[in-house]
Amino acid sequence: MYQSPVSRLCSALRDVSALCASSLRQQPHHSPVRRRALPQPVLGSLAGLGCCHSLAGWIGDGQAKAVPSSGTAPAAAPAVGAAGTGARSASRAVCSMGNSTSRLYSALAKTLSSSSTAVSQHQEELEASDHDQLDPLDPKDLLEECQVALQERPARLRREFVGLRNGFSSQPQPFRVMQWNILAQALGEGKDNFIKCPVEALKWEERKYLILEEILMYRPDVLCLQEVDHYFDTFQPILSRMGYQCTFLAKPWSPCLDVEHNNGPDGCALFFLQDRFQLVSSSKIRLSARTLKTNQVAIAETLQCSATGRLLCVVVTHLKARTGWERFRLAQGSDLLRNLETITQGAKVPSIICGDFNAEPTEEVYKRFASSSLNLNSAYKLLSEDGESEPPYTTWKIRPTGECCLTLDYIWYSQHALKVNSALSLLTEEQIGPNRLPSFNYPSDHLSLVCDFSFNEDPDRLL
């Protein structure tokens, strides 16, 4: 059952300390610990290793096992070559972790220790804890290690970036935004009833590699996630070490808590690279439906772009699910827009709003965003022939009630101040396959949306 972040982190720290101590007792006292290169055949049996020779040794749960795999990486991943090349490269990543006294392993212990202290004081201090004092993690090494752990998985699905005809800009440094409902682990295993998805494909020991691989593949400058129930033990420790500033807001009454052996409440999380943006202000919003406080939340952060000095308000949210709640979603969306009117000073600061709205384009909440005073447009409309139609689906799953193929996820942006340069294509029906999502080669029932944006040089001209 659910444990508080403090107890979970302290428990993990005790496990880390015990394993480190055990390993140190096995080392000669008179000689320093040295990294020992793993022979090539060992890469195929990482699951049998008991310490941090694999990413599983320090991601999420301390008992996770690395699952070897042999999938072909998507073309969008320049760091991953053919299977043989990937294995050789991944060997370097795995070997760099060495044994339980390696740099990464000891750094994790520091992360857990400092995090548990911070949680006991304030959650905000945990999120802003000083991770720069820890050794940074190389995204290429982590991606390679994910590839090693996924060698026995089917090949990942190929997606390409599509350049948009009206999206090219002379701005030298576009920035990338990723929106994704990653599927809460407790819901995937406990409540969502994906009747065509094998149970093995839903295990966290495997799904976490696929989720991290997808993020590492596209390297967003801004990352917006929903249904995050492994924030404190996976996403915050890892992404903060990769240079991201991290913010999390849990749902007040998360349905994950109804599932036995859950990992705590799910919520929204927002991450941005600190070498691309600086935080100006941050707001955590519990959405209201008229006067009623609801179970849905949003995070809105005003950032300053390091390259241009321009301000940008980035928002992540997740509205109420299921049919019959259309008016409720409209009220929640209207409340969020009212908050953003204040935060953006009446749209003087441009916005990017990412979310699982649980609303199709025919719903009133969608129309409210499209007609708001923030002058918003939906980025993925620009992939259509006429530039006015949303994709046919962003989620496709099969439940006991039937097949569900809907467009629910969006990246809204201020069209007077921002341009969409390119967007990541969606998977075809053939790629998704007859059993739909999630699957052995895709970890969520929602597709990730990824766009490259740039600032317009003269935004006032288009107001």
Q: Domain of 250: which CATH number?
A: 3.60.10.10
Can you give the pLDDT at residue 120? Answer: 41
Q: Are both 171 and 137 inside the same structural domain?
A: no
Model confidence pLDDT, tens digit, residues 19-61: 444 444 444 443 343 333 333 322 232 233 233 334 444 444 4
| Structural domain containing residue 179 | 161-462
Residue 449 in any domain: the answer is yes
Q: Are both 135 and 249 inside the same structural domain?
A: no
Q: Are both 87 and 215 inside the same structural domain?
A: no
Residue 37 in any domain: the answer is yes
258-286: average pLDDT: 97
222-242: average pLDDT: 98
Can you give the pLDDT at residue 115? Answer: 45
Q: Are both 275 and 363 inside the same structural domain?
A: yes
Q: Which residue from 367, 366, 360, 268 is spatially nearest to 323, judged by alpha carbons?
A: 360
Banded model confidence at residue 206, pLDDT cuts 50, 70, 90: confident
Is the pLDDT at 393 greater than 70, yes or no?
Answer: yes
Model confidence pLDDT, tens digit, residues 425-459: 999 999 999 999 999 999 999 999 999 999 998 65
Q: Are both 96 and 49 inside the same structural domain?
A: yes
Angle between helices 204-218 and 139-149 (to 10 degrees): 140
317-340: average pLDDT: 98
Q: Are both 198 and 102 inside the same structural domain?
A: no
Model confidence pLDDT, tens digit, residues 60-90: 443 333 333 333 344 444 333 333 334 333 3
Can you give the pLDDT at residue 246? Answer: 98
Q: What is the domain count for the chain?
A: 2
Least confident stretch, 102-111, 125-134, 163-172, 224-233: 102-111
Banded model confidence at residue 97, pLDDT cuts 50, 70, 90: very low
Residue 156 in any domain: the answer is no
Q: Are both 197 and 118 inside the same structural domain?
A: no
Q: Which residue from 118, 359, 391 is spatially nearest to 237, judged by alpha carbons?
A: 118
Residue 252 in any domain: the answer is yes
Can you give the pLDDT at residue 460? Answer: 55
Angle between helices 83-97 and 103-121 (to 10 degrees): 70
End residue of a domain, out of 151, 174, 204:
151
What are the two backbone dihedrals, phi and then psi, of residue 186, each rounded to the nearest 5 degrees? -65, -35
End residue of a domain, out of 94, 117, 151:
151
Banded model confidence at residue 119, pLDDT cuts 50, 70, 90: very low
What pTM does this model have?
0.75
* Number of neighbouring beta carbons within 10 Å of residue 450: 26
End residue of a domain, out of 130, 151, 172:
151
Model confidence pLDDT, tens digit, residues 176-188: 999 999 999 999 9
**More confidently predicted of 45 and 4:** 4
Q: Are both 169 and 142 inside the same structural domain?
A: no
Q: Are both 73 and 168 inside the same structural domain?
A: no
Model confidence pLDDT, tens digit, residues 273-302: 999 999 999 999 999 998 999 999 999 999
Q: Are both 147 and 234 inside the same structural domain?
A: no
Can you give the pLDDT at residue 457? Answer: 82
Q: Are both 74 and 221 inside the same structural domain?
A: no
307-311: average pLDDT: 96
Let me know: does 410 contact 370? Beta carbons within 8 Å: no
Can you give the pLDDT at residue 175? Answer: 98
Q: Are both 288 and 435 inside the same structural domain?
A: yes
Tell me the pLDDT of the chain averaged across its residues.
79
Cα 385 to its chain centre, rounded Å, is: 29
Q: Which residue from 246, 302, 263 is spatially nearest to 279, judged by alpha carbons?
A: 302
